[in-house]
Amino acid sequence: MKEKNLEKVEPTRDAKVFVPTPDIYEKDDSILVRCDMPGVAQDQVDIRLDNTELEITGTQAGDKPDGVDLLAGEYETGVFRRKFNVPQLIDRDKIRARLHNGVLDIELPKAEQAKPRKIEIKTGDQIDKEVD
Amino acid sequence: MYWTDDRAWAPFAELQSLQREMNRLFDGRDGGTAMSRFPALNVWGNGENIVVTAELPGVEVEDLDLSVVNNQLTIKGECKADKPAEDAVCHRNEREAGSFVRTVRLPYAVENDKVAAKYENGVLTITMPRHEATKPKRIEIQTA
Protein backbone atom coordinates (compact mmCIF):
# COMPACT_ATOMS: atom_id res chain seq x y z
CA MET A 1 0.00 0.00 0.00
CA LYS A 2 2.89 2.28 0.70
CA GLU A 3 4.19 4.11 -2.34
CA LYS A 4 7.87 3.53 -2.92
CA ASN A 5 8.31 5.93 -5.79
CA LEU A 6 8.57 9.06 -3.67
CA GLU A 7 11.27 11.38 -4.76
CA LYS A 8 14.52 10.86 -2.90
CA VAL A 9 15.22 14.54 -2.45
CA GLU A 10 15.50 15.73 1.12
CA PRO A 11 12.93 18.32 2.10
CA THR A 12 14.36 21.65 3.18
CA ARG A 13 11.84 22.13 5.94
CA ASP A 14 11.82 19.83 8.91
CA ALA A 15 8.24 18.68 8.52
CA LYS A 16 6.86 15.18 8.57
CA VAL A 17 5.64 13.93 5.24
CA PHE A 18 2.42 11.97 5.28
CA VAL A 19 1.04 9.88 2.47
CA PRO A 20 -2.64 10.61 2.13
CA THR A 21 -4.96 7.73 1.33
CA PRO A 22 -7.08 8.62 -1.67
CA ASP A 23 -10.20 7.41 -3.36
CA ILE A 24 -9.84 7.23 -7.13
CA TYR A 25 -12.85 7.11 -9.40
CA GLU A 26 -13.15 7.13 -13.15
CA LYS A 27 -15.94 8.44 -15.28
CA ASP A 28 -16.26 8.28 -19.05
CA ASP A 29 -14.86 11.76 -19.43
CA SER A 30 -12.70 12.26 -16.34
CA ILE A 31 -10.72 10.80 -13.46
CA LEU A 32 -11.59 11.89 -9.94
CA VAL A 33 -9.10 11.82 -7.08
CA ARG A 34 -10.24 12.50 -3.54
CA CYS A 35 -7.76 12.91 -0.67
CA ASP A 36 -8.14 13.69 3.01
CA MET A 37 -6.13 16.79 3.83
CA PRO A 38 -7.20 18.05 7.25
CA GLY A 39 -5.76 21.37 8.34
CA VAL A 40 -4.63 22.38 4.87
CA ALA A 41 -5.75 25.82 3.70
CA GLN A 42 -6.79 26.38 0.11
CA ASP A 43 -3.62 28.27 -0.82
CA GLN A 44 -1.39 25.56 0.64
CA VAL A 45 -2.37 22.92 -1.88
CA ASP A 46 -0.08 22.31 -4.83
CA ILE A 47 -1.12 20.05 -7.67
CA ARG A 48 1.32 19.33 -10.48
CA LEU A 49 0.96 17.21 -13.55
CA ASP A 50 4.25 16.32 -15.21
CA ASN A 51 3.59 14.19 -18.27
CA THR A 52 1.71 11.30 -16.70
CA GLU A 53 2.81 11.93 -13.14
CA LEU A 54 0.39 13.69 -10.84
CA GLU A 55 1.86 15.09 -7.64
CA ILE A 56 -0.32 16.41 -4.85
CA THR A 57 1.22 18.37 -1.99
CA GLY A 58 -0.65 19.99 0.89
CA THR A 59 1.00 21.78 3.76
CA GLN A 60 -0.83 21.73 7.06
CA ALA A 61 -1.12 24.96 8.99
CA GLY A 62 -0.14 23.09 12.17
CA ASP A 63 -1.11 26.01 14.34
CA LYS A 64 -0.44 25.64 18.01
CA PRO A 65 -3.19 27.14 20.16
CA ASP A 66 -2.00 30.24 22.02
CA GLY A 67 -0.75 30.02 25.57
CA VAL A 68 -1.33 26.33 26.14
CA ASP A 69 1.03 23.39 26.28
CA LEU A 70 0.57 20.03 24.68
CA LEU A 71 -0.68 17.58 27.30
CA ALA A 72 -1.38 14.57 25.11
CA GLY A 73 -0.44 14.35 21.47
CA GLU A 74 -1.88 11.62 19.30
CA TYR A 75 -1.26 13.05 15.89
CA GLU A 76 1.35 15.23 14.28
CA THR A 77 1.10 17.75 11.51
CA GLY A 78 3.30 18.18 8.48
CA VAL A 79 3.00 17.85 4.75
CA PHE A 80 0.79 15.56 2.70
CA ARG A 81 2.41 14.35 -0.47
CA ARG A 82 1.60 11.65 -2.94
CA LYS A 83 2.37 10.89 -6.55
CA PHE A 84 0.33 8.93 -9.02
CA ASN A 85 0.83 7.74 -12.52
CA VAL A 86 -2.08 8.89 -14.60
CA PRO A 87 -2.29 6.66 -17.64
CA GLN A 88 -4.71 8.50 -19.92
CA LEU A 89 -4.05 11.68 -21.77
CA ILE A 90 -5.27 14.44 -19.53
CA ASP A 91 -6.58 17.77 -20.70
CA ARG A 92 -4.29 19.74 -18.45
CA ASP A 93 -5.97 23.10 -18.99
CA LYS A 94 -9.21 21.82 -17.57
CA ILE A 95 -8.00 20.25 -14.32
CA ARG A 96 -10.15 21.41 -11.47
CA ALA A 97 -9.64 21.07 -7.73
CA ARG A 98 -11.87 21.82 -4.81
CA LEU A 99 -11.11 21.77 -1.11
CA HIS A 100 -14.04 21.31 1.23
CA ASN A 101 -13.94 20.39 4.94
CA GLY A 102 -10.37 19.16 4.60
CA VAL A 103 -11.11 16.89 1.66
CA LEU A 104 -9.44 17.64 -1.66
CA ASP A 105 -11.31 16.71 -4.84
CA ILE A 106 -9.38 16.79 -8.09
CA GLU A 107 -11.06 16.34 -11.43
CA LEU A 108 -8.81 15.37 -14.31
CA PRO A 109 -10.77 15.57 -17.55
CA LYS A 110 -9.63 13.22 -20.28
CA ALA A 111 -8.42 14.76 -23.49
CA GLU A 112 -10.69 14.38 -26.53
CA GLN A 113 -8.59 11.68 -28.15
CA ALA A 114 -8.58 9.63 -24.95
CA LYS A 115 -12.33 9.56 -24.52
CA PRO A 116 -14.08 6.36 -25.45
CA ARG A 117 -15.69 6.67 -28.85
CA LYS A 118 -18.65 4.79 -30.05
CA ILE A 119 -17.94 3.14 -33.35
CA GLU A 120 -20.91 2.90 -35.67
CA ILE A 121 -21.33 -0.42 -37.32
CA LYS A 122 -22.85 -0.11 -40.73
CA THR A 123 -24.94 -2.83 -42.19
CA GLY A 124 -24.40 -4.08 -45.72
CA ASP A 125 -27.41 -2.13 -47.06
CA GLN A 126 -26.06 1.22 -45.89
CA ILE A 127 -22.69 0.62 -47.47
CA ASP A 128 -24.37 -0.27 -50.76
CA LYS A 129 -26.38 2.97 -50.66
CA GLU A 130 -23.26 5.05 -50.04
CA VAL A 131 -21.60 3.43 -53.04
CA ASP A 132 -24.60 4.36 -55.18
CA MET B 1 -4.22 7.36 10.19
CA TYR B 2 -1.42 8.20 7.83
CA TRP B 3 1.97 6.82 6.96
CA THR B 4 5.14 8.81 7.05
CA ASP B 5 7.42 8.35 4.10
CA ASP B 6 10.60 6.35 4.16
CA ARG B 7 13.16 9.10 3.86
CA ALA B 8 13.42 9.27 7.64
CA TRP B 9 15.92 6.91 9.23
CA ALA B 10 13.92 3.92 10.40
CA PRO B 11 15.97 0.91 11.42
CA PHE B 12 12.98 -0.91 12.81
CA ALA B 13 10.64 -0.12 9.95
CA GLU B 14 9.35 -3.67 9.71
CA LEU B 15 8.63 -3.85 13.42
CA GLN B 16 6.98 -0.47 13.35
CA SER B 17 4.77 -1.42 10.47
CA LEU B 18 3.70 -4.52 12.34
CA GLN B 19 2.92 -2.39 15.37
CA ARG B 20 0.96 0.00 13.17
CA GLU B 21 -1.02 -2.85 11.69
CA MET B 22 -1.88 -4.05 15.19
CA ASN B 23 -2.87 -0.56 16.27
CA ARG B 24 -4.97 -0.16 13.17
CA LEU B 25 -7.09 -3.08 14.29
CA PHE B 26 -8.33 -0.88 17.07
CA ASP B 27 -8.05 2.52 15.46
CA GLY B 28 -10.71 2.41 12.78
CA ARG B 29 -14.09 4.01 12.82
CA ASP B 30 -15.62 1.12 14.68
CA GLY B 31 -18.82 2.80 15.76
CA GLY B 32 -17.32 3.70 19.11
CA THR B 33 -16.40 0.72 21.23
CA ALA B 34 -14.46 1.13 24.45
CA MET B 35 -11.23 0.69 22.51
CA SER B 36 -12.01 3.44 20.05
CA ARG B 37 -9.02 5.66 19.33
CA PHE B 38 -10.60 7.54 16.48
CA PRO B 39 -10.40 10.43 16.03
CA ALA B 40 -6.84 11.04 17.17
CA LEU B 41 -6.84 13.98 19.57
CA ASN B 42 -4.28 16.51 20.57
CA VAL B 43 -5.03 17.88 24.01
CA TRP B 44 -3.54 21.23 24.95
CA GLY B 45 -3.91 23.01 28.24
CA ASN B 46 -2.79 25.31 30.97
CA GLY B 47 -4.23 26.21 34.35
CA GLU B 48 -7.14 28.08 32.78
CA ASN B 49 -8.14 26.42 29.55
CA ILE B 50 -8.18 23.10 27.76
CA VAL B 51 -8.03 22.97 23.98
CA VAL B 52 -8.74 19.73 22.15
CA THR B 53 -8.05 19.41 18.43
CA ALA B 54 -8.98 16.55 16.13
CA GLU B 55 -8.46 15.87 12.45
CA LEU B 56 -11.85 15.02 11.01
CA PRO B 57 -11.76 15.55 7.27
CA GLY B 58 -14.96 15.20 5.31
CA VAL B 59 -17.36 15.47 8.23
CA GLU B 60 -20.22 17.91 7.96
CA VAL B 61 -20.76 20.13 11.00
CA GLU B 62 -24.35 18.93 11.37
CA ASP B 63 -23.07 15.33 11.66
CA LEU B 64 -20.90 16.23 14.66
CA ASP B 65 -22.20 16.00 18.17
CA LEU B 66 -20.18 17.30 21.10
CA SER B 67 -21.10 17.04 24.74
CA VAL B 68 -19.34 17.98 27.94
CA VAL B 69 -20.30 16.69 31.36
CA ASN B 70 -18.09 17.95 34.16
CA ASN B 71 -14.68 16.73 33.07
CA GLN B 72 -15.75 14.38 30.30
CA LEU B 73 -15.78 15.38 26.67
CA THR B 74 -17.58 13.21 24.14
CA ILE B 75 -17.13 13.62 20.41
CA LYS B 76 -19.65 11.78 18.32
CA GLY B 77 -20.03 11.92 14.59
CA GLU B 78 -20.33 10.28 11.28
CA CYS B 79 -18.14 10.35 8.23
CA LYS B 80 -20.45 9.72 5.32
CA ALA B 81 -19.21 7.81 2.33
CA ASP B 82 -20.25 9.60 -0.82
CA LYS B 83 -19.39 8.83 -4.39
CA PRO B 84 -18.28 11.89 -6.35
CA ALA B 85 -20.62 10.97 -9.19
CA GLU B 86 -23.26 8.34 -9.73
CA ASP B 87 -21.73 6.88 -12.88
CA ALA B 88 -18.17 6.81 -11.57
CA VAL B 89 -16.25 3.55 -11.41
CA CYS B 90 -14.15 3.08 -8.29
CA HIS B 91 -10.47 2.23 -8.76
CA ARG B 92 -9.29 2.66 -5.20
CA ASN B 93 -11.17 3.26 -2.02
CA GLU B 94 -8.71 3.94 0.75
CA ARG B 95 -10.61 6.53 2.71
CA GLU B 96 -12.68 5.21 5.53
CA ALA B 97 -16.20 6.13 6.41
CA GLY B 98 -18.46 5.35 9.32
CA SER B 99 -19.58 6.61 12.67
CA PHE B 100 -17.38 7.17 15.68
CA VAL B 101 -17.60 8.06 19.36
CA ARG B 102 -14.78 9.06 21.59
CA THR B 103 -14.85 10.17 25.21
CA VAL B 104 -11.90 11.71 26.96
CA ARG B 105 -11.43 12.68 30.56
CA LEU B 106 -10.15 16.21 31.02
CA PRO B 107 -7.77 17.19 33.84
CA TYR B 108 -10.47 19.30 35.52
CA ALA B 109 -14.15 20.16 35.25
CA VAL B 110 -14.97 22.84 32.69
CA GLU B 111 -17.66 25.50 32.33
CA ASN B 112 -20.19 23.60 30.22
CA ASP B 113 -21.87 26.71 28.84
CA LYS B 114 -18.64 28.41 27.84
CA VAL B 115 -17.30 25.65 25.64
CA ALA B 116 -16.49 26.91 22.15
CA ALA B 117 -15.98 24.68 19.13
CA LYS B 118 -14.75 25.52 15.66
CA TYR B 119 -14.51 23.36 12.55
CA GLU B 120 -12.17 24.63 9.89
CA ASN B 121 -10.50 22.84 6.97
CA GLY B 122 -11.38 19.49 8.47
CA VAL B 123 -9.88 20.24 11.88
CA LEU B 124 -12.11 20.46 14.93
CA THR B 125 -10.95 22.72 17.75
CA ILE B 126 -12.75 22.73 21.09
CA THR B 127 -11.85 25.33 23.69
CA MET B 128 -13.01 24.76 27.25
CA PRO B 129 -12.45 27.15 30.15
CA ARG B 130 -11.81 25.70 33.57
CA HIS B 131 -14.70 25.61 36.01
CA GLU B 132 -14.40 28.34 38.63
CA ALA B 133 -15.00 25.93 41.51
CA THR B 134 -12.02 23.78 40.56
CA LYS B 135 -9.52 26.61 40.32
CA PRO B 136 -6.93 26.53 43.04
CA LYS B 137 -7.43 29.20 45.67
CA ARG B 138 -4.73 30.86 47.62
CA ILE B 139 -5.33 30.51 51.31
CA GLU B 140 -4.14 33.30 53.48
CA ILE B 141 -2.43 32.23 56.70
CA GLN B 142 -3.23 34.48 59.55
CA THR B 143 -0.75 35.11 62.24
CA ALA B 144 -1.91 35.42 65.77
- Please give the pLDDT value at position B104: 87
CA-to-CA distance for B83 and A23, rounded, in angstroms?
9
At B32 the three-state DSSP class reads coil
- Which residues of chain A neighbour B130 with C-beta distances below 8 Å? none
CA distance A23 to chain B (A): 4
DSSP code, position B135: S
CA count, 13 A, side-chain hemisphere, A28:
5
Alpha helices (H) in B1-144, listed in sequence order: 13-27
**Average pLDDT value over all residues in chain A:** 81
Residue B32 has pLDDT above 60, yes or no: no
Of B55, B59, B64, B126, residue with least CA distance to B101: B64
Residue of B nearest to A62 (CA): B123
Residue B2 has pLDDT above 80, yes or no: no
- Which residues of chain B neighbour A11 with C-beta distances below 8 Å? 7
Higher-confidence residue of B11 and B57: namely: B57
Helix or strand holding residue B44 (H, E) = strand B41-45
Instruction: Let me know: does A69 contact B45? Beta carbons within 8 Å.
Output: yes
- Which residues of chain A neighbour B53 with C-beta distances below 8 Å? 65
Does the beta carbon of B119 lie under 8 angstroms from any beta carbon of chain A?
Answer: yes
Does the beta carbon of B40 lie under 8 angstroms from any beta carbon of chain A?
Answer: yes
Instruction: Let me know: does B103 contact B35? Beta carbons within 8 Å.
Output: no
Of B60, B95, B121, residue with least CA distance to A25: B95
At A20-54, the pLDDT tens digits run: 888 889 888 888 889 999 999 988 899 888 877 88
- Please give the pLDDT value at position A11: 60
At A69-107, the pLDDT tens digits run: 888 888 888 899 998 887 767 887 888 899 988 899 999
Band of pLDDT at residue B126, cut at 50, 70 and 90? very high
- Please give the pLDDT value at position A9: 58
**Average pLDDT value over all residues in chain B:** 81
- Please give the pLDDT value at position B115: 92
- ipTM of the complex, rounded to two decimals: 0.71
- Please give the pLDDT value at position A2: 44
- Which residues of chain B neighbour A21 with C-beta distances below 8 Å? 2, 94-95
Non-local CB neighbours of A118 within 8 Å, separated by 6+ positions:
none
CA-to-CA distance for B83 and A36, rounded, in angstroms?
14
Order of strands across the sheet that contains B49-55: A69-73, B41-45, B49-55, B123-129, B116-120
- Please give the pLDDT value at position B1: 47
Report all structural domains of chain A as residue ranges with CATH numbers, in order of start. Answer: 16-61+76-116 (2.60.40.790)
CA geometry: angle at A86 spanning A26 and B80, to 5°? 40
- Please give the pLDDT value at position A4: 47
Higher-confidence residue of B102 and B11: namely: B102
Higher-confidence residue of B9 and A117: namely: A117
Contact B92 A27 (CB under 8 A): no
Report all structural domains of chain B as residue ranges with CATH numbers, in order of start. Answer: 31-83+97-134 (2.60.40.790)
- Which residues of chain A neighbour B44 with C-beta distances below 8 Å? 64-65, 68-71
CA distance A63 to chain B (A): 10
- Please give the pLDDT value at position B6: 53
Pick B51's closest partner by Cβ from A32, A68, A105: A68
At B54-104, the pLDDT tens digits run: 999 888 889 999 999 888 899 999 888 877 777 888 888 888 888 888 888
CA-to-CA distance for A132 and A127, rounded, in angstroms?
9
Does the beta carbon of B31 lie under 8 angstroms from any beta carbon of chain A?
Answer: no
